Amino acid sequence: MADYERMKEVILTGRVEEISGLVKQALGQGTNPQDIIGQGLIAGMDEVGVRFKNGDIYIPEVLVSAKTMHIGMEILRPLLSKGEARSMGTVILGTVKGDLHDIGKNLVGIMLEGAGFEVIDLGVDQSPEKFVEAARKKEAQVIALSALLTTTMGEMAKVITALKTAGLREQVIVMVGGAPLNEKFASTIGADGYAPDAGSAVEKLKKMIQRN
Ligand code: B1M
């Protein structure tokens, strides 16, 4: 049984030197990489978020926790990517303009790769034009947008408008996510799908791709 409580504690306290050992130990015990991410790494970051919000910890601690989680992720990423050999489709992924948060976006990318999608990650602070250009160039089936700030969620609507202007809206599924979003917001801006977390993003996208 993987020691999820200890993993969460190590992420929370930012003990970068300990996370690799714990993740490798869990893998050695036969634990599914996606379970390690969900119940260990993400659960740890969730708690970091709560403490940051409550003012119990500050930005430097948050960054060390994020680094700790990334180290764990780097061990798991190649294992997830072996999930399926055939590509389920090409996804252009990124965090919208003005927004620098990338931890959740990276998780979504890793999980999508694990499910067999080809993921082209544009990074953070990406303009609508960048998404449109990448979708056209790569003949992508999906644009996946992340936003963590209430001040940047509106950028998602601009991406959809830019897709319409470019004549690409009908060819591309637009999926949105991020902590301040919900189903209603996604539907208001005309997105095709919303997912509250990385796991459900994969499930929803698989279904949408099959329907198309
Ligand atoms: Co910022 N930050 N931050 N931050 N930060 C939040 C988001 C905040 C809620 C904290 C708070 O005040 N309680 C708040 C936003 C308030 C709001 O707008 N409602 C906030 C703020 C205000 C800010 C700054 C403005 C602070 C400042 O400078 N005064 C600033 C903005 C910088 C900018 O972007 N322009 C800022 C900066 C930062 C850091 C750089 C220090 C750092 C980011 C580091 C990085 O990403 N590389 C940071 C962090 C780490 C956080 C918190 C603590 C944690 C975010 C995180 O990584 N969570 C966050 C508080 C919180 O969330 N409780 C906070 C873990 C991650 C796994 O979850 O990203 O939600 P999340 O992703 C989830 C789901 O949302 C979903 O799946 C993921 C996992 O399952 N999901 C998708 C995400 N994208 C998806 C896309 C999908 C589907 C699902 O489909 C495409």
- By most ligand atoms within 8 Å of CB, the mutation choice from 148, 152, 173, 200 for ligand 1 is 148
- Measured between alpha carbons, how far is 47 from 176 in angstroms, rounded to an integer? 23
pTM to 2 decimal places: 0.81
> Which range has the worst mean pLDDT, 109-113, 180-184, 191-195?
109-113
Q: Read off the pLDDT of residues 18-56 as tens digits, 9 standing for 90 and up.
A: 999 999 999 999 999 888 988 998 788 778 877 877 889
Rounded to 5°, the CA angle 78-102-134 comes to 80
| Ligand 1 mean position, distance from CA 77 (Å) | 21
Q: Read off the pLDDT of residues 197-210 as tens digits, 9 standing for 90 and up.
A: 887 888 899 899 88
Taking residues 134-158, what's their average pLDDT? 98
pLDDT at 45: 79
Q: Read off the pLDDT of residues 84-143 as tens digits, 9 standing for 90 and up.
A: 345 689 999 999 999 999 988 987 887 787 666 889 999 999 999 999 999 999 999 999
Q: How far is CA 22 from CA 6, 28, 77, 187, in A?
A: 8, 10, 15, 41
Which ligand 1 atom lies nearest to the CA of residue 179? 75
pLDDT at 82: 56
| Ligand 1 mean position, distance from CA 2 (Å) | 27
